[in-house]
Structure 1
């Protein structure tokens, strides 16, 4: 009689830990999140295009838990002198916010700022003559603003988000 109960009891005992330990959090980000983040924050036009496509289809990336929020060009005009810098600023915010959340901001700030500058120069490449010169000068100014003040701005944005 003991043998008849031994097998079911042993099976139940072995199955119990599997039912008590969750299989994993449903909200856990995919293992390649940092690789995807890196691929979307490079200086190349292909990186910019991939990020733009993902931004337009954010729902497909919801499992990654990316922070898509943006204040665009912060306290600077989004389209200074008519130059459309808004999308470049949004990608820059994406890089800052997501690397801050990952705890990897300091190691990636320089590249994110460089990607921002390349994005701005791509905007300027659509102009010619004095308009192109003015656009490039404005792009240089925007780049240096984030290069110098970007860490402070990222910290303030994180504080504002935490306070709300």
Structure 2
């Protein structure tokens, strides 16, 4: 048993050395898996992520909203733009250019806007109503940008 305990760490070191420093770990994420992980993060955690390749991190913020709503929902808008910019049919990566995925991205947007309302405005019914109206607009017109 002692030989096994000393042999296993030695074997792990030998395998790591054979693979070399540039070898990708076995559990490396695909771009789709990484994008899914980013999209399921809360808006604040998403905002802290480094803007790494291969993703398109371009954003126009909250197009079409007045200044107050742009300020309130900016982080959710940035995450939504990331979704459209990487999954959609007009994106470079085209990770999942389906209507089902678009609906999921829009739903995540709605969830994060509602979370922003809760975090920043407590029980403010107007913020929640704004989130619902914006979500309705994205569902109705977002396909033009998808």
TM-score range, shorter chain: 0.5 to 0.7
In structure 1, which of residues 52, 69, 78 is the aligned counterpart of residue 47 of structure 2? 52
| Number of the residue aligned with 2:32 | 34
RMSD across aligned positions (CA): 2.1
1:114 alignment partner, SS class: helix
Shift of 1:32: 1.1
Whether 1:136 and 2:128 are equivalent positions in the alignment is yes
| Number of the residue aligned with 2:61 | 72
TM-score under structure 2 normalisation? 0.68
Mapping of residues 88-99 of structure 1, within 5 Å:
88-99=76-87
2:121 alignment partner, SS class: coil
* Residues in 2 aligned to 1:86 and 1:136: alpha-carbon distance in whole angstroms: 15
* Residues in 2 aligned to 1:88 and 1:41: alpha-carbon distance in whole angstroms: 10
| Number of the residue aligned with 2:5 | none
Structure 1 residues without counterparts, runs of 5 or longer: 1-29, 155-164
Whether 1:117 and 2:105 are equivalent positions in the alignment is no
Structure 1's consecutive aligned runs of 4 or more residues displaced over 6 angstroms after TM superposition are none
Pair 31,127 (structure 1): closer, same or farther in 2 beyond 3 Å? closer
**Structure with the higher helix share, 1 or 2:** 1
Aligned pairs, how many? 113
Pair 148,36 (structure 1): closer, same or farther in 2 beyond 3 Å? same
Q: Which has the larger radius of gyration?
A: 1
CA contact (8 A) 1:40 1:51 kept: yes
